[in-house]
Chains A and B, each alone.
Chain A
Amino acid sequence: AQSVTQPDIHITVSEGASLELRCNYSYGATPYLFWYVQSPGQGLQLLLKYFSGDTLVQGIKGFEAEFKRSQSSFNLRKPSVHWSDAAEYFCAVGGLIYNQGGKLIFGQGTELSVKP
């Protein structure tokens, strides 16, 4: 079955500290992986994506993620967290299947709090 697991429901980090949000997926075909961020009351903003090639991908706002096929993981990282990064982060997996619509499957989300 297709699924995405984000093991951490809530993480608190100090401003300036490094961050890693975990994501594991189960997908039968070649996965396309995404991280989205959702600020309170807002929609979903794409942070970064992985389709193929270099397994370390760079995104917006200083985020990066590393695809590890052997571990079925796509963890999100940031070397130094800013207070404005406080939000909910969703990992998602999808695939380009031409006879279907390419739906995204989302994880439960990880809520990030940043303390001064």
Chain B
Amino acid sequence: EPEVTQTPSHQVTQMGQEVILRCVPISNHLYFYWYRQILGQKVEFLVSFYNNEISEKSEIFDDQFSVERPDGSNFTLKIRSTKLEDSAMYFCASKSRSRGTESYEQYFGPGTRLTVT
């Protein structure tokens, strides 16, 4: 069964450093998402991406964040200068655009735990 994959599973970085979180969405999917979950809190939407551009972003997704689909398979989230409060689990998700109810489902990756020290 196709699945969303994410690398690395755990990333430790120092405050102020840049990090890139990588995701490989399901191959025929066209919508891509990043969510984050701070420890003990709910999952929060960060950004959605379609047709090579951001379709929606949350207030959390400020100028320190960027997303990119550099090739036909990867989808990345970059944090330019990490802060302590960026420590969280980051989930990538993807969704198809086919007709039918399958087009409404988002498939989540296993997440990348980011620890900023």
Contact = CB atoms under 8 A, between A and B. Distances in A.
A92 B45 CA distance: 11
A94 B42 contact: no
Interface in B23-73: 31, 33, 35, 41-45, 48-50, 55-56, 58
Nearest to B32: A101
Determine the interface band of chain B, counting residues with CB < 8 A from chain A: 20 to 34
Nearest to A4: B42
Given A101-B49, A102-B48, A107 B56 contact: no
Contacts of A43: 91, 108-111
B22 interface: no
B43 A103 contact: no
B45 A42 contact: no
Contact of B108 (A44, A51, A99): A44
B104 A103 contact: no
B106 interface: yes
A101 B33 contact: yes
- The interface residues of chain A, by DSSP majority, are classed as loop
Nearest to A42: B110
A108 interface: yes
Interface of B: 31, 33, 35, 41-45, 48-50, 55-56, 58, 91, 93, 95, 101, 103-111
25 contacts: A34-B105, A42-B110, A43-B110, A49-B101, A92-B43, A94-B104, A94-B106, A96-B103, A100-B55, A101-B48, A101-B49, A101-B55, A102-B31, A102-B48, A102-B106, A103-B33, A103-B48, A103-B56, A104-B43, A104-B45, A104-B106, A106-B35, A106-B42, A108-B41, A109-B43
Given A100-B48, A102-B95, A104-B35, 12 more contacts: A32-B104, A34-B105, A43-B91, A49-B101, A90-B42, A100-B55, A100-B56, A101-B48, A102-B106, A104-B93, A106-B43, A109-B43
